[in-house]
Homo-oligomer: A and B are copies of this chain.
Amino acid sequence: MPRPPTIAQQLASKQREISVAEFFERNRQILGFDNLPRAMLTTVKEAVDNSVDVCDEARIAPEISVEIAKEGEDRFRVAVTDNGPGILRREIPNVFARLLYGSRFHSNRQARGQQGIGISAAVLYANLTTARPVRIVSRVEEEDVAHVLELFIDTQKNQPRVVLDDVALPESAHGTKVELVLKAKYVRGRQSVLEYLRGTAIVNPHARLVLQEPDGTRVTFERATEELPAVPKETPPHPYGLELGELGSLLKASRQATVSEFLVKDLQGVSARAAKELLVAAGIPGATKPVAVQGDVQERLLAALRAAPLLAPSSEGLSPIGAMLIKRGLRNVLGTLRPDFFAPPVTRPAKVRGGFPFLVEVGLVYGGALPVDEPVQILRFANRVPLLFQQGACAITTAIGSVDWRRYGLEQKGGSGIPVGPALLLVHIASTKVPFTSEAKEAVAEDPEIDRELVLALQAAARHLRTHLSRASRREFAGEKFSIIQKILPKLAEKTSHLVGKPVPDLTPVVTRIMDVVHVETGLTQEAKTRRVPVTVTNYTPRPRVVELFLEVAPELFARATFAPEPDGTEPALGRAWWTLPKLPPNGRSELAVTFAAPCDVDADDLDWYVAGIDEARLLGADPLPGDWDVRLPRTVVEAAEAAEGAPAGAPGEEEVDYDAAEASAGVRDDD
């Protein structure tokens, strides 16, 4: 007679394999399907991200339409159509109805989708909530029909189940349409499909996005640029941060004949010379076969790699947004809020973590109609995808909270946490592998390397803000001076002259002495087809000035610009031009203009003006020329400028006018 099963046996009998589809069906919140509005957003997001990715890979300017129709209480039909290259018939089932299957997971370059889960997750959720298949219509250029498939996911096996396999007349040269029926809710405002598409438009200005809302409303985000972003190159992993196990699998998989070739060809940043040296350091013969490097030898190799001074990781695998587009994107989204100040966007050099390169970009705007007494707005992006959920769990948020914004002019209780003020922060993390906190890809995990870069980028942007704010207060003060001088001085002079019975003196020296700034004023006039940016430079200093004026603008804008007068020098590739203005006497002014041909999307903020040879304290409306400009100034000019600065205060003939009295009575003081 058999003995009853022991506890261990009972427990063993319950042990079972779990299919990844079962797992995610049960834990769909992990994939971003925890509630109805979010289910809607995640579904659209996964489909659109795929479309943009595949268009970028195929060098096609993305043209994506999202149609959402209500099919009943809590039930919607979502259709996303792209003009991508299409998908081969044989791949369609796996791509859409099998989790952990994809083309980008094993590649080492920046992409929106990297997990091979996204769209299948949406299909899984649709199957689960409405028991309806996903419908795919796709055409590849080389075939003259479109394939139509309807699919379920067999969750027990995590395999596609094809319920319709047909062909149809193609509606376009190439492209794919995904159609799902799911339980969801369509919302507007925060964390909505619209907000996601707007965010996508900000950081993907080369894409055209059209949304058809359930009530029939059509929203279109037109392209902001015709040029496609450079395709990130496939790059081998960089040794820094590589784990022992990863090095092991790389060695095992290597096709190189020797370990030294492996180091140079299968890894990034290792020069032949570095390889030689570190192999010596590790005591490994260069001719060793890669597979033969195991155990302690492997550990020694890794140690040597970590110690070696290697080349920085290449950023070829990355596709940053770039200063120009960040600025323009922000202007797009801010529209009527009209901020006073767009900080020059910051793009940090590429760094590496766990063998994967990454870089951080930050944009900051301030003022205008942005709310003064609310936390600053935060726009988070990862690999050009907006992150709308889990802000509290995101490394970006932590980094922002760890900066002491009080030092840069924002309110912040106790010097940590989200600061308060009329500002907006755009933060973009680009990486060949973004460490998301979950498959929903809504928050970036804490990581010391990333945190460091985030903080540096944020501080750089914050410094611009501080400069702006101090300059603004200086400008205000100068403004006061202006009015005081214009109102009071003439009266004062008249009165005193009348009293002492002398002719009214020339006030110019007083005015300039009190102001003591070179003022660069820019405007913007719009004609039918062009935009004109007039510039006036006035010398409100008591001495003659030779002003060297420099312009910087995005190269694509520069290409459409004409100048009057012609610049003394230009660097079109960098979008730079400069002028040496005729010597300006006190109160003297000089004018020039920049005219841009259509399309008329230029705005005074797109032009940055710099002045050389005059110290910052004496500049109004322009910044001193940054050090990184290696423009050669005519020696004479520099000397002239220096001379002007250097000359002893109070040249003969000035003392005669008693401006002190004037200042005193006017209650103004000299700034120096």
A392 within 8 A of B: yes
Given contacts A115-B27, A439-B30, contact A12 B128 (CB under 8 A): no
Residues of B within 8 A of A54 (CB): 11
Q: Of residues A27, A54, A446, A447, which shows the largest number of chain B Cβ atoms within 10 Å of its Cβ?
A: A27
User: Which of A272-280, A430-438, A457-465, A503-511 has 4 or more CB atoms under 8 Å from chain B?
Assistant: A430-438
Q: Contact: A436 with B26, CB < 8 Å?
A: no
Residues of B within 8 A of A141 (CB): 6-8
User: Which of A98-106, A476-484, A514-522 has 4 or more CB atoms under 8 Å from chain B?
Assistant: A98-106
Residue of B nearest to A446 (CB): B34
Taken residue by residue from 13 to 33, chain A's Cβ proximity to chain B (1 for < 8 Å, 0 otherwise) reads as 011111110110111011000
CB distance from A12 to the nearest CB of B (A): 5
Q: Contact: B12 with A87, CB < 8 Å?
A: yes
Residue of B nearest to A6 (CB): B142
In the bound assembly, the distance between CA atoms of A607 and B35 in angstroms comes to 43
Q: Contact: B91 with A15, CB < 8 Å?
A: yes
Q: Contact: B8 with A140, CB < 8 Å?
A: yes
Residues of B within 8 A of A15 (CB): 91, 94-95, 101-103
Residues of B within 8 A of A19 (CB): 100
Taken residue by residue from 61 to 98, chain A's Cβ proximity to chain B (1 for < 8 Å, 0 otherwise) reads as 00000000000000000000000011110110011001
Q: Which of A88-142 contact B (CB under 8 A)?
A: 88, 90-91, 94-95, 98, 100-107, 115-116, 127-131, 140-142
User: Which of A238-246, A318-326, A577-585, A652-660 has 4 or more CB atoms under 8 Å from chain B?
Assistant: A238-246
Q: How many copies does the complex hold?
A: 2
Residues of B within 8 A of A35 (CB): 446-448
Residues of B within 8 A of A533 (CB): none
In the bound assembly, the distance between CA atoms of A17 and B101 in angstroms comes to 4
Q: Contact: A17 with B58, CB < 8 Å?
A: no
Given contacts A15-B101, A115-B23, A393-B443, contact A8 B86 (CB under 8 A): yes
Q: Contact: B23 with A128, CB < 8 Å?
A: no
Residues of B within 8 A of A217 (CB): none
Q: Contact: B88 with A9, CB < 8 Å?
A: yes
Q: Contact: A131 with B245, CB < 8 Å?
A: yes
Residue of B nearest to A138 (CB): B8
A497 within 8 A of B: no
Residues of B within 8 A of A245 (CB): 25, 127-129, 131
Residue of B nearest to A413 (CB): B413
Q: Contact: B102 with A248, CB < 8 Å?
A: no
In the bound assembly, the distance between CA atoms of A275 and B29 in angstroms comes to 31
In the bound assembly, the distance between CA atoms of A25 and B91 in angstroms comes to 25
- A105 contact from B12, B16, B128, Cβ within 8 A: B16
Knowing that A17-B101, A29-B445 are A-B contacts, what are 10 other residue pairs whose CB atoms are under 8 Å apart, sorted by A's residue number? Answer: A6-B141, A8-B141, A9-B88, A11-B58, A18-B116, A20-B100, A23-B105, A25-B245, A30-B436, A128-B246
18 A-B Cβ contacts within 8 A? A6-B141, A11-B54, A12-B88, A16-B102, A18-B106, A18-B116, A23-B100, A29-B447, A30-B445, A128-B244, A129-B244, A131-B248, A131-B299, A390-B393, A392-B397, A393-B437, A393-B443, A437-B437
The 3 lowest CB-CB distance pairs between A and B, nearest first, are: A392-B392, A393-B393, A128-B245
